[in-house]
Amino acid sequence: MKAIIAAFAVLTAVFTASAQAPKSTGAAKTVAIISIPEEATTSPSTLAKWLKAHTGSQQALQQALFNWMAGHIAYDVDNMNRVSSYRDSAAAMLKTLQTRKGLCTDYAVLYAQVCKEAGITAIVVTGYALAHDIMVPTGSHDWVVVKNGNQWTITDPTWGAGAVDNGRFIQRTNWTWFQASPQIAVKTHMPYDPMWQMLSFPLRHDELGSGAFAAAAKRPVFAYGDTLQAWFRQSRLERLQKSSARIRRFGGAANPFIMTELDWMDQSIRVLAGNQEIEARNRRIDQFNALNREYTEIVKSYNEYVGFKNRQFLPEVQDAALRKMIDGIAGRLSAAEASLSGLKSADDGLKQNMEELGEAISGLKGKVGDEQTFVGKYLKTEKAKRRELFYVQVADKL
Q: Which CATH number fits the domain that encloses residue 91?
A: 3.10.620
| More reliable by pLDDT, 372 or 3 | 372
CA separation, residue 323 to residues 208, 305, 331 (Å) = 78, 11, 12
User: Looking at residue 52, what DSSP letter applies?
Assistant: H
Number of domains in the chain: 2
| More reliable by pLDDT, 19 or 231 | 231
| Inside any domain, residue 166 | yes
Contact 111, 145 (CB under 8 A): no
The Cβ-side half-sphere exposure at 175, using a 13 Å CA radius, reads: 10
pLDDT of residue 5: 36
* Average pLDDT, integer, range 320-343: 97
* Average pLDDT, integer, range 239-247: 98
| Inside any domain, residue 205 | no
Clarify whether residues 186 and 318 are in a common domain: no
| Inside any domain, residue 200 | no
Q: How confident is the model at residue 9 (pLDDT cuts 50, 70, 90)?
A: very low
Q: What is the pLDDT of residues 309-324, one digit of tens each?
A: 999 999 999 999 999 9
pLDDT winner (highest mean) among 25-34, 71-80, 84-93:
71-80
Clarify whether residues 324 and 180 are in a common domain: no
Residue 6 has pLDDT above 80, yes or no: no
Q: How confident is the model at residue 345 (pLDDT cuts 50, 70, 90)?
A: confident
Residue 57 has pLDDT above 50, yes or no: yes
| Inside any domain, residue 231 | no
Q: What percent of the chain has pLDDT over 70?
A: 87
Residue 10 has pLDDT above 90, yes or no: no
Contact 26, 175 (CB under 8 A): yes
| Inside any domain, residue 300 | no
Clarify whether residues 175 and 317 are in a common domain: no
* Average pLDDT, integer, range 340-365: 93
Q: How confident is the model at residue 48 (pLDDT cuts 50, 70, 90)?
A: very high
* Average pLDDT, integer, range 7-34: 50
Contact 158, 104 (CB under 8 A): yes
Boundary residue ending a domain (141, 157, 191)? 191
Boundary residue ending a domain (191, 216, 231)? 191
CA 281 distance to own-chain centroid: 19
| Inside any domain, residue 164 | yes
Residue 380 has pLDDT above 50, yes or no: yes
Boundary residue ending a domain (175, 191, 207)? 191
pLDDT of residue 371: 97
pLDDT of residue 396: 58
| Inside any domain, residue 120 | yes
CA distance 80 to 105: 11
Q: Domain range for residue 373?
A: 312-397
| Inside any domain, residue 298 | no
The Cβ-side half-sphere exposure at 66, using a 13 Å CA radius, reads: 27
